[in-house]
Amino acid sequence: MELTDLLTFSAVARTGGITRAAEELNTVQSNVTQRVKALEAEIGIALFERHSRGMTLTGAGRRLLPYAQRMAALSREALRAARDDGEPKGPLAIGSMETTAAVRLPALLAGFHRRYPAVQLSLRTATTADLVAAVLDGSLDGAFIAGPIEHGDLAATVAFREELVLVTARHIKNLTELRAATPESGPTALVFRTGCTYRQRLEQVLTEFGWPSATRFELGTLDGMIGCVAAGMGVTLLPRAVVGRNEGVRIHALGTAQSRVETLFITRRAAHEYSALRGFIACLNSKDEDIAA
C-alpha cells in the first residue's frame, strides 16, 4: 500500500484508462499496468473491470477510491505542515466568484502580497458550487463564495456583505418601464454558468415578477455580461459594488429580502494550521479596521 500505487490507482480511476493515466503521471503504460496489478495482488481483489475501451472500477475499487484520494490530499498537507515554520510562505491557492474577484479582491490581494511577499498566491475563479468542491478536496486552500452554507468540514467567515441589484440598459428608468419594454414572456436573463448562486437569486426574482420561464443566456465573464446588458440584450443581477459607475447600464434596487447576500471565505477545518492561510485570514479580518482607520 505505497502512496505511489494509490496515486496511480486514482489516476486510472479518474481517466478511465491505463494509457491516459500513464500520460498524466508522466510514465509508460506498462508501468501503470504493473502498479495496478501489484495493488490488486496486495489487496487480494480486483479493482477494475477490464473491457476493450478502458477500465472501470469494481465495487472494491469504488470503496478504495475515496481513501486513496484522502491519503493523497493528506500527504500534500503533511509536506506543507512539516515545512511550515509559522512564517507565511509557499503556495496558497485561493478561489473566488467572478464578481468578488473583480471588485473586492484587488485591494485585498495587493495588501496581502505587500505583507507576506514570500507567499505565492494563486487565484482561480469559478462558481460557488465548484469552489466548495475544490476546497473540500484540497485543491484550493480557501475560497470566496456566496453564503449561506452549512458543512461540517468547512469553516466560514463573513468576508463581504453585498447588495444585489437588478441591472438593465441605461434607458430603462424604473421597473415599470422595464415591464413595458419587455415582451410577455419576460426579458432575457444574462447568467453565469450553472452553480453560481447569483443565478439562482435571479431566477427567484424573475419568478416574482411573473417571468418564470424567461430566456436564459449564459456568459462566462463579467465584462461580457455588463456589455450585453448595456447593449439592451437583457437584464442581470449583480452586487451593486460590481456595477459601480458603469455608464452603459442602470441599477434598480430590490426589496431587502432577495437583495442581501453575504460573501463568505471558506476553508477546511482540518487545514487551519497552515501559516500562509492563517496570514490570509488575518489580512481579511484586518481589512475592515484599515478602512475604519
Partner DNA sequence: GACTATCATTCTCAAAAAGTGAATAATTGA
Partner DNA sequence: TCAATTATTCACTTTTTGAGAATGATAGTC
Residues of the shown chain interacting with its own copies in the complex, contacts defined by CB under 8 A: 1-4, 6, 43-45, 47, 59-61, 63-64, 67-68, 70-71, 74-75, 77-79, 81-85, 273
**The amino acid at 118:** A
What's the number of CA atoms in the CB half-sphere (13 Å) around residue 5?
16
Of 135, 93, 106, which is closest to residue 266 (Cα–Cα)?
135
- Longest CA–CA span in the chain (Å) reads 72
Check residue 249 for interaction with DNA (CB under 7 A).
Answer: no
Alpha-carbon span 167 to 235, nearest angstrom? 6
- Of the pair 42, 87, the CB lying nearest DNA is at 42
* Interacting residue with DNA among 3, 4, 151, 220 (CB under 7 A): 4
Min dist. Cβ of residue 85 to its own copies (A): 7
Residue 138 Cβ vs DNA, minimum distance, rounded to whole Å? 23
Assess 31 for contact with DNA (CB under 7 A).
yes
Residues 6+ apart with CB under 8 A from 17: 54, 55
Tell me: does residue 189 bind DNA (CB under 7 A).
Answer: no
Task: State how far Cα 24 lies from the chain centre.
Answer: 23
For the bound state, the minimum distance from the C-beta of residue 40 to DNA, rounded and expressed in Å, comes to 9
- Residue 114: closest CA among 263, 251, 262, 286: 286
Nearest to 284 by CA among 52, 92, 14: 92
Closer residue to DNA, CB minimum distance, 48 or 211: 48
Picked from its own copies, DNA, none, the partner binding residue 242 (CB below 5 to 8 A depending on kind) is none
- Of its own copies, DNA, none, which one sits near residue 107, judging by CB under 5 to 8 A according to partner kind? none
The amino acid at residue 43 is I
Distance CA 239, CA 196 (A): 13
Smaller CB separation from DNA, 16 or 195? 16
Question: Can the peptide bond before residue 148 be classed as cis, meaning omega within 30 degrees of 0?
Answer: yes
Which CB sits closer to its own copies, 82 or 291?
Answer: 82
- Binder of DNA out of 24, 45, 54, 179 (CB under 7 A): 54
Residue tagged 494563486 (cell numbers) = 122
**Is the distance from CB of 216 to CB of 199 less than 8 angstroms?**
no
Q: Applying CB under 7 A, which of residues 13, 47, 55, 219 lies at the interface with DNA?
A: 55
Using the minimum distance from each CB to its own copies, give the nearer residue, 47 or 264: 47
Q: Determine which residue in the list 9, 10, 35, 191 makes contact with DNA, applying CB under 7 A.
A: 35
Dist CA 286 CA 291 (whole Å): 9
Shortest distance in whole angstroms from residue 56 CB to DNA: 10
Q: Which residues bind DNA (CB under 7 A)?
A: 2, 4-5, 16-20, 27-31, 33-38, 50-55
